[in-house]
Structures are given as structure tokens and as C-alpha cells.
């Protein structure tokens, strides 16, 4: 029992740790590695699974610390049944990704409570290796890979411990052996990664295993404001020439034109492709995994093609000014594209589409519509054809109202005090506080109420430069909503009412503030060093995505071309894989042969070989079995060959063999646990002295006499 006294408890804890049995120490190591594997799952599992896993691991750790008795099998069976019932009640199934991983966690932690034999530890180890695999169903980033690589090393260390049942090998020594085994397997892993055929869906993970960008093909007021708090990366862009200014970096997503008073949805079909003019801007864009069919490309993009990532059947098609993916949802894409600075539609707007883009739900937001009618009358008093031929005059009037009517831009606009379908009335006429989707929606409602075709566009606006690799990063926090109105002779024209109330949101490149929000002087800390680390991490993470996660069948074929295959196919890939595996195996065999005598033996192995060589000089039949024979086997053979009375040399030799066995295989806490190789070698040297040819012959002659 440890008494937690100040300044001495940690000493007692250290002493108690070293006094643990070999089984207790190994059990603690295995439990620690399982906890490391389970830790990333904690945010995904239901609360009762986390609670049960924590109780099981802590219970088993306490039993290992106190050398207590394991719970009965009946109790474990009842716990298993209860956890199975909880899994069914939570997921309504026992199969599938979520329920399956929960069951594996339950089984692995419960198995620890009956951990008493080598077979039980192997089961826990194999379940731990399987749980490492399940981590990549959720996240395949470099951070997860590094963490799970450490977990693999820890479980391999536990596996090597299980293969050394004798003595008390130090953890550092066993860990080095496990690391050496991982390094031996590294060439094989590289060959399989580079040349194993990418068969779909065998190679690919399920589509729900990937992350998602935050954009959606619908818009509810407040949705984009929630994305503004998400700092994860949505896009990476590399420009081939001078990049456009931040206020021109609009990455266009879904176009939304159906409004029911609460939600915006896509509606009318896309028009013909616009006419593009000006010098095009070439760029490469990496789009993180998303379920959205619309690709958020730079506005004005007229050409785009997939350069890496995605399945073989993935294509991208242009619909008006939008780009749509066909297939390959939930996959990271790298595209080469060109964007033009100016575009316009030359065709006239048909009456049917005009009615569609001026439609508003009946009886919703009446005060805003009445205000728009009044504004229209004021403008038409000066310009009678403003709504039909000069809508830019109405746009200027609305923008001026936003700038002068004390509207404010906020991430937390809140909700009306009472539930109401007239959300735009509440925003436009009363609260006057909102995020970009509030201003875009209010602007479109006002324009439609004045008879001007208008719609909402969602996407991303702005990008931050990463000085490490020269790429521009667009985060989900840059999600944005703006508006478009139809101008005769020009087509759709972008109007961003957010720029009227918060121009800094559009004109300035976003840069995160790592210490923003901290109290007092902490918020003023210099974050430049932290930002540099973040930029480096983003660059490394991008390289990981491109070189590892995006390694596809096309890149395999390019690799074969560089190796000499003119027109590589699956047969060529199989040949290359066979050559790679053969050369890897041959190299391993040559390396093993080359180092067979150069690899230092363990101290005990070295002492055993010297003892065996010395004892073979005696005129006694050596023990049967593998060489070198153990000291106990030699002792049995010598006792059978030397009947009593024995000579002094014979008795001394038998005594030395007994002492050597005691030093190596004595019980816990005896000299076997504290003996050094020098003590083993000291006894072996005495055995060698008694086994010199002259002593052996003299002893044999004395025995015959």
C-alpha cells in the first residue's frame, strides 16, 4: 500500500513499479498501448462505451498493481450481454462501421479482464492491431498515421515481450528489437504501396470514411456562420502567375434560387456557357473530400481537368458558370484550371426564367417587400425604367442603404425573440445584425420584390498565403454567401452586400489569430512563431495528401513508364510487383547472411555457447537436442554418466552448472533478477578451467581406477 506523503510518494511509486512481477509490468505496458489506440475513438464512441472501456482498463490495471484475482467468467459474461444490448439500443444493429467498432472496443477491453495466459495476451494484441486499422476509417491524415505508427511499435514491443517468457528483459531492449523488426519490414511496405494494384472498391475506403467540406447544396440562415468557426482546410490553390487580389478571390459553389422563406435550394437549370474575355489565370486547385457535386472553383473558370485523385470514372463538366463532378464523391481532387477575369451572357432572359428568379413566397416578409416597393417608387421617380433596363441603379440604392442604416456584421446574429417565418423582416427592419447569408438573402429578397431577377451564390471568399510552399489556403471559415442580379446585355452580375457593411471581410486576406479570445494580456501574445509552425504543418500535410493519400493507379502507370515499360497495364504492374517482391526477399536474405556473424549475440547466448564448447571436451555423451544445450541438460547428462562417488572436479562442475541455472532462471526477486552478464561469464570461465583436456583426462583416469 502506497502512502501519498509529500515529496516521497513518487519515490514509493518508483520503488513499487520496480517491485512488480514480470507479468504485472508486461500487463501495464499492454494496457497502456490499448489505451493509446482507443484514445482517438473516444470522441466517436457513445458515452457508455467510453465509460465501460475506461472502467475495464482501470480495473485490470489495479489487479496488476495489487496482484489481485481476476473476475469470474459469469460476471464477464453478464457484462458482455449488457454491452451488446446497449450497442443494439444505440445503433439498432450489430453490424456496420459504428456498431462494429464499438463491439471491437468492448471485446478488447473485456478480454483484458481475463488476461492471465499468453493466449489471452495474443488475442488482446490482435484486437489492438485491428483497432489501429479502424482509425483510418475516420481520418487518414499524417497526424493519425504518426500516432498509429507509435501504437504499432508499442504493440510489437508487447508481442516481443510475450516471446521472451524467461527472465525480465528491459523494455528498452525489447523496444529496440521491435523497432528493428519494423525497419526490416519497411522495404516490403514500400514495394507493396508503390506496386500493389489499386482495385476499386477493394483498395478504397468506404465513402463515409472521408472528411467533408462544409458547403451544402442548400442554405439555411445561420448555416454559413457556423462554418465560420470551422478552421479546417477546404481548398488549396497554387497560381502559375501573379495571383488576383483578395477581393477577387471568389470560389463559386452552388447557385441557389428557390426560396421558401427559410431555406434556399437550387432550382432553374443552368444557362449556356458565358463568353469569356481577358487574359486567363492558370491555377492548380486541391479540393478536400466533399459530398457536394458542385466544385468550388475560382469564379470565371472556363477550363478544368482532373490531374490527380478520384476514381477512373470521375469527370468534371461545366454547367453555365458552375462545374459539376460526375462520380468520385468523397474523394480528394487535384485539378488544373484556367479562370478568365471577365465573362457575360449574350442571350436574353426568357419570361419564364424571369418569373422564376423574381418569385417570392406569398405572405412572407411583408414589411421588407413593402419597403422595397417604396424604394422602387423613389428610384423610378427619377428613372422610370430602372427595374427593367437599369437595375444597377436599384442595386446602388440598396447598397447605400446598407452602408448608412447602421447595419452590423456579426458571427452571432441570434434569433428573433419569438418564432416567426418572417426572418428577413426581423433582420432587415429590426435587428440589423447578421452574417453574410443574412445580407445576401435580404438583398435578393429586396431585389426580387422590385422585379429584378436575383439569386444567392455560396462558396468561399479570400485565401491566406502559406509562405512555406507558396500555396493559398482556403479554410471552411472563409465560407461566404453573396448575390447576383440580372443586367440586360451583360447577364448575371455579382453583388456582395457584405462588402458594403464589412469591407475588411472581402478586401483583406484572412489570417487566423491563434491567441484571439484569451483573457487579458494573453490575447496580445506574439503569434508569429505559432503561425510559422502552423504554415509548416499545413505544407507537410499537403505533401502527405499528394504523395500518399492521392497515390493512384495513374501514378502507378507513370512509375512503370519511368522504369522502362512503354505501355504499362495490369499485367505490367503484376510483373513489376513480382520483381519488387523478389528483389526485396533476395536483399533481405543477402543482408541476413552478411550479418550472421557480425550480429552480436545476447550475453546469455554467448555464455551458453562457451559453456557448451567447454563441456564437450569431457568424455561424456552430450545431451540430445538443439545445440548449444542448456546448463540443466548438461547437468542431467553428467549425473547419468558419473555415478557416485564422484571426484572433486566432477562435484565442482555440477555445482557450477547449478549456480549458472539459478542465476539465469531463479524466481523473481532473487539473484536471477539482478545478475549481470559478468557473473554468468565468471562461472563459465570456471567451467572452462575445469574442462581443460589435462583435467578431463586425469579425471577420466581417476574414475577408471
What is the rounded (10 degree) CA torsion for 599, 604, 606, 612? -140
- Which one is catalytic: 41, 422, 438, 480? 480
Nearest to 113 by CA among 162, 79, 152, 154: 79
**What is the 3 state secondary structure string of 481-511?**
EEEEEEECCCEEEEECCHHHHCHHHHHCCCC
Q: Examine the residue annotation and report whether 496 is marked as an active-site residue of this protein.
A: yes
- Which one is catalytic: 496, 535, 538, 612? 496
Nearest to 405 by CA among 376, 434, 379: 434
Rounded to whole angstroms, how far apart are CA atoms 161 and 157? Answer: 6
Helices (H), ranges, 67-141: 73-91, 97-112, 118-135
| β-strand partners of 239 | 283
> In sequence order, what are the residues at sequence separation of 6 or more whose Cβ sits closer than 8 angstroms to the Cβ of residue 84?
94, 103, 106
Rounded to whole angstroms, how far apart are CA atoms 224 and 481? Answer: 8
Instruction: Tell me the CA end-to-end span of the chain in Å, nearest whole number.
Output: 63
Q: Examine the residue annotation and report whether 124 is marked as an active-site residue of this protein.
A: no
Helices (H), ranges, 600-692: 603-615, 631-641, 648-665, 671-674, 677-690
Q: Are 159 and 52 in contact (CB under 8 A)?
A: no
Q: Examine the residue annotation and report whether 436 is marked as an active-site residue of this protein.
A: yes
Rounded to whole angstroms, how far apart are CA atoms 158 and 31? Answer: 10
| 243 DSSP 8-state letter | P
Q: What are the backbone dihedrals phi and psi of residue 373, each rounded to the nearest 5 degrees, phi first?
A: -60, -40
> In sequence order, what are the residues at sequence separation of 6 or more whose Cβ sits closer than 8 angstroms to the Cβ of residue 80?
106, 107, 110
Cell of 689: 578451467
In whole angstroms, how large is the CA radius of gyration of the chain?
A: 37
- Which one is catalytic: 436, 438, 535, 538? 436
Which residue numbers are catalytic? 436, 480, 496
Amino acid at each position: 500500500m502506497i502512502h501519498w506523503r509529500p515529496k516521497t510518494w513518487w519515490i514509493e511509486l518508483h520503488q513499487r513499479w520496480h517491485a512488480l512481477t514480470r507479468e504485472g509490468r508486461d500487463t501495464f505496458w499492454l494496457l497502456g498501448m490499448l489505451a493509446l489506440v482507443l484514445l482517438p475513438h473516444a470522441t466517436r464512441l457513445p458515452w457508455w462505451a467510453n465509460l465501460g472501456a475506461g472502467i475495464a482498463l482501470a480495473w485490470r490495471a489495479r489487479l496488476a498493481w495489487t496482484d489481485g484475482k481476476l473476475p469470474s467468467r459469469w460476471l464477464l459474461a453478464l457484462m458482455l450481454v449488457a454491452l451488446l444490448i446497449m450497442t443494439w439500443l444505440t445503433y439498432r444493429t450489430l453490424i456496420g462501421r459504428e456498431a462494429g467498432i464499438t463491439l471491437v472496443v468492448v471485446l478488447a477491453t473485456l478480454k483484458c479482464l481475463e488476461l492471465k495466459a499468453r493466449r489471452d495476451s495474443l488475442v488482446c494484441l490482435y484486437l489492438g492491431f485491428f483497432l489501429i486499422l479502424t482509425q483510418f476509417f475516420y481520418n487518414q491524415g499524417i497526424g493519425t498515421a504518426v500516432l498509429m505508427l507509435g501504437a504499432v511499435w508499442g504493440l510489437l514491443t508487447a508481442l516481443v515481450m510475450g516471446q521472451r517468457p524467461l527472465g525480465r528483459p528491459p523494455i528498452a531492449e525489447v523496444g529496440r528489437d521491435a523497432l528493428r523488426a519494423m525497419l526490416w519490414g519497411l522495404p516490403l511496405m514500400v514495394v507493396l504501396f508503390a506496386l500493389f494494384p489499386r482495385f476499386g472498391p477493394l483498395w478504397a475506403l468506404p465513402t463515409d470514411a472521408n472528411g467533408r467540406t462544409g458547403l451544402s447544396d442548400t442554405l439555411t440562415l445561420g448555416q454559413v456562420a457556423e462554418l465560420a468557426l470551422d478552421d479546417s482546410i477546404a481548398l488549396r490553390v497554387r497560381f502559375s502567375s501573379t495571383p488576383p487580389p483578395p477581393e477577387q478571390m471568389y470560389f463559386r459553389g452552388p447557385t441557389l434560387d428557390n426560396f421558401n422563406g427559410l431555406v434556399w435550394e437550387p432550382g432553374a437549370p443552368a444557362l449556356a456557357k458565358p463568353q469569356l474575355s481577358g487574359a486567363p489565370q492558370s491555377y492548380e486547385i486541391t479540393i478536400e473530400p466533399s459530398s457536394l457535386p458542385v466544385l468550388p472553383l475560382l469564379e470565371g473558370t472556363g477550363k478544368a481537368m482532373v490531374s490527380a485523385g478520384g476514381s477512373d470514372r470521375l469527370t468534371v463538366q461545366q454547367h453555365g458558370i458552375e462545374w459539376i463532378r460526375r462520380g468520385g464523391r468523397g474523394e480528394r481532387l487535384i485539378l488544373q484550371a484556367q479562370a478568365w477575369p471577365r465573362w457575360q451572357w449574350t442571350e436574353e432572359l426568357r419570361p419564364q426564367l424571369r418569373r422564376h428568379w423574381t418569385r417570392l413566397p406569398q405572405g412572407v416578409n411583408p414589411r421588407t417587400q413593402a419597403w422595397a416597393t417604396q424604394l422602387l417608387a423613389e428610384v423610378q421617380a427619377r428613372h422610370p425604367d430602372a427595374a427593367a433596363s437599369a437595375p444597377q441603379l436599384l442595386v446602388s440604392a440598396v447598397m447605400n442603404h446598407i452602408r448608412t442604416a447602421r447595419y452590423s456584421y456579426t458571427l452571432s446574429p441570434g434569433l428573433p425573440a419569438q418564432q416567426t417565418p418572417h426572418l428577413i423582416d426581423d433582420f432587415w427592419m429590426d435587428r440589423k445584425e447578421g452574417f453574410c447569408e443574412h445580407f445576401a438573402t435580404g438583398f435578393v429578397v429586396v431585389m426580387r420584390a422590385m422585379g429584378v431577377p436575383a439569386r444567392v451564390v455560396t462558396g468561399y471568399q479570400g485565401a491566406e498565403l502559406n509562405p512555406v510552399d507558396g500555396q493559398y489556403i482556403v479554410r471552411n471559415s472563409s465560407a461566404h454567401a453573396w448575390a447576383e442580379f440580372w443586367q440586360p446585355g451583360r447577364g448575371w452580375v455579382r453583388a456582395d452586400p457584405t462588402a458594403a457593411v464589412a469591407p475588411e471581410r472581402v478586401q483583406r486576406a484572412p489570417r487566423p489569430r491563434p491567441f484571439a479570445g484569451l483573457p487579458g494580456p494573453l490575447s496580445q501574445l506574439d503569434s508569429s512563431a505559432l503561425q510559422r509552425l502552423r504554415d509548416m504543418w499545413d505544407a507537410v500535410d499537403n505533401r502527405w495528401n499528394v504523395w500518399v493519400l492521392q497515390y493512384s493507379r495513374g501514378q502507378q502507370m507513370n512509375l512503370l513508364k519511368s522504369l522502362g515499360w512503354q505501355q504499362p497495364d495490369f499485367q505490367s504492374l503484376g510483373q513489376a510487383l513480382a520483381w519488387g517482391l523478389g528483389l526485396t526477399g533476395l536483399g533481405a536474405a543477402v543482408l541476413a547472411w552478411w550479418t550472421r556473424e557480425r550480429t552480436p549475440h545476447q550475453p546469455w547466448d554467448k555464455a551458453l555457447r562457451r559453456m557448451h564448447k567447454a563441456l564437450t571436451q569431457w568424455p561424456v555423451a552430450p545431451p540430445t537436442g538443439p545445440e548449444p544445450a542448456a546448463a540443466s541438460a548438461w547437468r542431467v547428462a553428467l549425473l547419468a554418466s558419473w555415478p557416485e562417488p564422484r571426484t572433486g572436479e566432477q562435484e565442482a562442475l555440477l555445482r557450477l552448472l547449478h549456480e549458472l541455472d539459478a542465476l539465469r532462471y531463479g524466481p523473481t526477486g532473487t539473484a536471477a533478477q539482478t545478475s549481470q552478464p559478468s557473473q554468468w561469464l565468471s562461472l563459465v570461465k570456471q567451467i572452462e578451467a575445469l574442462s581443460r583436456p589435462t583435467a578431463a583426462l586425469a579425471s577420466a583416469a581417476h574414475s577408471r581406477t
